[in-house]
Amino acid sequence: MRATNLSGWGRYPVCGCQLATLRREEQLAEWAASSTMIARGNGRSYGDAALNPELTLSMLAMNRLLAFDANQGVVSCEAGVLLADLLKLYVPQGWFPPVVPGTAEVTVGGMIAADVHGKNHHRDGSFGRHVESLRLATGNGGVLTCTREENADLFRATIGGMGLTGVILSASFRMCRIESEYVRTETLGTPDLAATMAMLETSNDQRYSVAWIDGRAKGGDLGRGLVSRGDFATADDGSARRAAHRSRDGGRRQLPIPALLSVALNPVSVRLFDALYNRVGRSQRGSRLVHHTSFFFPLDRVPGWNRLYGRRGFVQYQCVLPTSQSSQGLQAILERVEKSGQIAYLGVLKLLGEQGEGMMSFPMPGYTLALDFPVRRGTLELLDSLDEITAAHGGRVYLAKDARCRGDHVRQGYPDLPLFGDVRRRSTNATYDFSSAMSRRLGL
Amino acid sequence: MNRGVPAVGTALVVGATGDIGRAVARRLGRDGWELQLAARDSQRLEAEAQDLRLRGVTVTTYDCDVLQEAGPLALIDALPAAPDVAVCTVGALGDQPHDEKDWRAAERVMRANYLGPALLMGALANRFEERGHGVLVGISSIAGERGRRSNYIYGSAKSGFTAFLSGLRSRLHRSGVCVVTVIPGYVRTRMTDHLELPALLTATPEDVADAIVVAIRKRRNVVYVGRVWRDVALVVRAIPESIFKRIPL
């Protein structure tokens, strides 16, 4: 254990923490004396979810595979296994995780704790839905196996529970079959918010869909964007083979960031958007084959892009609004941002499907919008006002992205929070208490 | 020049449940090597082996306590065939102020960093020499470059190991057997978990594994993990003793 400064992916806030690394589960007993702790994966939640000044427990060394059922595609692994590691191993064997977030640099434990969603949420739900079982180190020092049958309420509390029910040690989940490493995708430009939403709705029959919103658009252009949709290519998609030949590297090459760029104000995501927008503008119609890594994880090609926002870091505002309120609410949010003069470099808009299975799962049927803001004067005040709009429209913010929301908004947005609190209290006792800078900030 | 060692073959990793051992095993496994893994705790070793098997690697495991007098020879007797490459990652930092007053603890540090690894490398060397090929990789430490007041028990043992490997390399240099001394500076492992280390100078176990793979391929003699440490070693060695003894390092 040592003292070190830690932050989430947004690099805001930074918090002095005692950091220890878990290498095998028996070691947990070593920290029984610590009154409180939180597990930390690869630090990809944006805010203060994986920070605890007293004890932050890195799970990155818990990265062993435990079993794989090649008939069912069920993989069991320790919680610190990286999604990128699984992809490298299983994609060539024709398996793909059921749900992937926007980066492959996340751990399995983190994906469960945040109940992450991906571009296929409207069809396949969030990650938790595909988890068959997990092993949880709880507050009384014991380890419980949790499934939908066994310790079912702890299972539901742990999915999306932000690590507050215990330390997820391992999990098993079902993957799906793919016939190709490539995704057949098309990208369509949309002139305003209504068009973007309409395009997402008509894209609902596709397996993967998402829209990128131009954060710098003004007035009638608000909400203009690019809708990207697609599915894995089939084996007999002849051009899939051609593509495989053409680009062996499959877009996996990492782009280095020149040191100078890191002080530039224009982040990569905007460049990426502009490049894409122009390409679509040049009317590159029809579908293309792209490697799955550039389809799902475009920003992973720029390691450390979060540093481009400078020393003060950035915050991401991600909320979901129920379907009936989405149009009005999203318009209000984008107008509020425009009026504030703050720059949201990039927005991501996605039509979500079902309510997540976890008590604290973020997804609900409706639209989710994510906006990145560099932390400047007035940024946090703006986000407070966005909270009001979100709340007024019956929505909620995503805890995995949050660094600053008030507890009352979270209590209002997550109706199962009292139930979650009960389960969590039952799982926690004098031996271990699981809490984070986030849970204290929100009074969870 | 191919000195009889194939690009991939069988590699023995001793200390395979440690952070560096795990990283080395994964890296070699990914590169297509068959693995022989040895460690003290057979249960933990089996977990590592299972992980590697799921990654498509052929693995056998061997109980081995290098700290026991009979450990190295027992391991070599247990192996069905001598490996093409052997990597010894065994070591222990100890607690210098405590170990200064507890000779048993000091002895354990010496055993873990010098006696055990050196006897193991020596015994393997004889096998490799008979056969006429092989690569031996020993992980020493920058701490072995010179005895410092803050960790001279550990440092002296590493120094002994470095000297042993150097002599062994010289003895075997016409035999087709290659001896690699890997000298890391700071590495973030369980051994250093409690230390505050300068981020820019601190390597990961994966960095060490990558350096080892290159060293095996290129038949290197001495490899510093991170070039800066070679310069550090040069400076540390050049300071006259009359001055060095006053420096609170």
Residue B2, in any domain of the structure: no
Return the structure tokens found at A200: 């997402």
Backbone angles phi, psi at A214, to 5 degrees: -75, 110
CATH number for B175: 3.40.50.720
Catalytic residue among B62, B114, B152, B154: B154
Residues of chain A found within 8 Å of residue B196, distances taken between Cβ atoms: 2-4
Q: How many residues does chain A have?
A: 444
Which of A1, A2, A68 is facing B54, going by the closest CB pair? A68
- The distance from CA A362 to its chain's CA centroid, rounded to whole angstroms, is 10
Distances (CA, A) of B121 to A20, A367, A433, B11, B225: 33, 63, 47, 14, 21
Residue B209, in any domain of the structure: yes
What's the gap in Å between the CA of A64 and the closest CA on chain B?
A: 5
Local confidence band at B7 (pLDDT 50, 70, 90 cut-offs): confident
Nearest CA in chain A to B53: A65
Residues of chain B found within 8 Å of residue A26, distances taken between Cβ atoms: none
What's the gap in Å between the CA of A73 and the closest CA on chain B?
A: 13
**A385-422 burial, b for 16+ CB within 10 Å, e for fewer?**
ebbebbbebbbbbbbbbbbbbeeebbbbbbebbeebee
Residue B60, in any domain of the structure: yes
The answer, yes or no, to whether residue B93 has pLDDT greater than 80, is yes
Q: Is B154 a catalytic residue?
A: yes
Task: Check: CB of residue B186 under 8 Å from CB of residue B197.
Answer: yes
- Give pLDDT tens digits for B135-148: 999 999 999 999 99
Those residues of chain B whose CB sits closer than 8 Å to some CB in chain A are 19, 44, 47-48, 50-51, 54-56, 190, 193-196
Count the neighbouring beta carbons within 10 Å of the beta carbon of residue A11.
20
Residues of chain B found within 8 Å of residue A21, distances taken between Cβ atoms: 190, 193
- Give pLDDT tens digits for B39-66: 999 999 999 999 999 999 999 999 999 8
Local confidence band at B34 (pLDDT 50, 70, 90 cut-offs): very high
Residues of chain B found within 8 Å of residue A67, distances taken between Cβ atoms: 50, 54
Those residues of chain A whose CB sits closer than 8 Å to some CB in chain B are 1-4, 20-21, 23-24, 61, 64-68, 89
Distances (CA, A) of A56 to A36, A38, A140: 9, 5, 18
Residues of chain A found within 8 Å of residue B48, distances taken between Cβ atoms: 64
For residue B239, the model assigns a pLDDT of 94
* Residue contact A61–B51, C-beta within 8 A: no
Return the structure tokens found at B175: 């035999």
For residue A248, the model assigns a pLDDT of 46
Which of B51, B195, B196 is facing A65, going by the closest CB pair? B51
Task: Check: CB of residue A113 under 8 Å from CB of residue A362.
Answer: no
Residue B15, in any domain of the structure: yes
* Residue contact B193–A2, C-beta within 8 A: yes
Nearest CA in chain B to A88: B55
* Residue contact A20–B193, C-beta within 8 A: yes
The answer, yes or no, to whether residue A404 has pLDDT greater than 80, is yes
Identify the CA nearest to B122 among candidates B161, B68, B157: B161
- Give pLDDT tens digits for B203-224: 999 999 999 999 999 999 999 9
* Residue contact B48–A64, C-beta within 8 A: yes
Count the neighbouring beta carbons within 10 Å of the beta carbon of residue A208.
23
What's the gap in Å between the CA of B81 and the closest CA on chain A?
A: 27
Which of A2, A24, A61 is facing B194, going by the closest CB pair? A2
For residue A272, the model assigns a pLDDT of 67
* Residue contact A3–B196, C-beta within 8 A: yes
Q: Is the peptide bond before A13 cis (omega within 30 degrees of 0)?
A: yes
Residues of chain B found within 8 Å of residue A65, distances taken between Cβ atoms: 50-51, 54-55
Query: Which residue do the tokens 């973030």 mark?
Result: B188
* Residue contact B55–A61, C-beta within 8 A: no
What's the gap in Å between the CA of A369 and the closest CA on chain B?
A: 36
Residues of chain B found within 8 Å of residue A61, distances taken between Cβ atoms: 19
Q: Looking at this predicted complex, what is its ipTM?
A: 0.92
Task: Check: CB of residue A174 under 8 Å from CB of residue A130.
Answer: yes
Return the structure tokens found at B214: 């290159």
For residue A273, the model assigns a pLDDT of 67
Backbone angles phi, psi at A350, to 5 degrees: -150, 135
Which of B44, B51, B55 is facing A24, going by the closest CB pair? B44
Nearest CA in chain A to B190: A21
Residues of chain B found within 8 Å of residue A2, distances taken between Cβ atoms: 193-196
* Average pLDDT value for chain A: 89
CA-CA-CA-CA torsion sign (A293, A295, A297, A302): positive
Beta strands of A160-302 (E only): which ranges?
167-174, 176-177, 182-190, 208-214, 225-232, 288-291
Q: In sequence order, which residues have a C-beta less than 8 Å from that of residue A82 and are 6 or more positions away?
A: A42, A63, A104, A105, A106, A107
- What DSSP line would sit under A349-372, residue for residue? EEEE-SPPSSTT----SEEEEEEE
What's the gap in Å between the CA of B15 and the closest CA on chain A?
A: 15
Number of A–B residue contacts, CB under 8 Å: 33
Residue B249, in any domain of the structure: no
CA–CA distance, A245 with B213 (Å, rounded to integer): 29
Task: Check: CB of residue A196 under 8 Å from CB of residue A349.
Answer: yes
Task: Check: CB of residue B229 under 8 Å from CB of residue B200.
Answer: no
Q: Are strands B59-63 and B34-39 parallel, antiparallel or unpaired?
A: parallel
Cα torsion B216, B222, B227, B228 to 10°: value is 150
Task: Check: CB of residue A337 under 8 Å from CB of residue A390.
Answer: no
Which of B55, B195, B196 is facing A89, going by the closest CB pair? B55
What's the gap in Å between the CA of B144 and the closest CA on chain A?
A: 25
Nearest CA in chain B to A75: B54
The answer, yes or no, to whether residue B131 has pLDDT greater than 80, is yes
- Give pLDDT tens digits for A241-284: 555 555 444 444 444 443 334 334 455 666 666 666 666 655 45
Alpha-carbon radius of gyration of chain A: 21
pTM summary value? 0.92
- Give pLDDT tens digits for A3-60: 999 999 999 999 999 999 999 998 988 877 677 999 999 999 999 999 999 999 999 9
Residue B1, in any domain of the structure: no
- The whole-number average pLDDT for the span A178-192 is 93
CA–CA distance, A364 with A347 (Å, rounded to integer): 19
Range of the domain at B198: 10-244
Count the neighbouring beta carbons within 10 Å of the beta carbon of residue A27.
15
Helix B42-54 vs helix B19-30: crossing angle, to nearest 10:
30
Identify the CA nearest to B227 among candidates B241, B207, B213, B209: B207
Residue B3, in any domain of the structure: no
Residues of chain B found within 8 Å of residue A20, distances taken between Cβ atoms: 193
Backbone angles phi, psi at A318, to 5 degrees: -125, 125
Backbone angles phi, psi at A181, to 5 degrees: -85, -5
Task: Check: CB of residue A8 under 8 Å from CB of residue A49.
Answer: yes
Distances (CA, A) of B168 to A101, A162, A210, B141: 52, 54, 61, 17
* Residue contact A66–B51, C-beta within 8 A: yes
Task: Please count the structural domains in chain B.
Answer: 1
Residue B26, in any domain of the structure: yes
Query: Which residue do the tokens 């001055």 mark?
Result: B243
Q: Where are the alpha helices (DSSP H) in chain B?
A: 19-30, 42-54, 71-78, 96-99, 103-110, 116-131, 152-172, 205-218, 228-238, 241-244
CA–CA distance, A345 with B219 (Å, rounded to integer): 50
Which of A21, A24, A65 is facing B54, going by the closest CB pair? A65
- The distance from CA A254 to its chain's CA centroid, rounded to whole angstroms, is 21
For residue A309, the model assigns a pLDDT of 80
- What DSSP line would sit under A3-15, residue for residue? EEEEE-TT--SEE
Task: Check: CB of residue A135 under 8 Å from CB of residue A77.
Answer: no
The DSSP 8-state label assigned to residue A265 in this structure reads: S
For residue A303, the model assigns a pLDDT of 84
Which of B50, B56, B190 is facing A66, going by the closest CB pair? B50
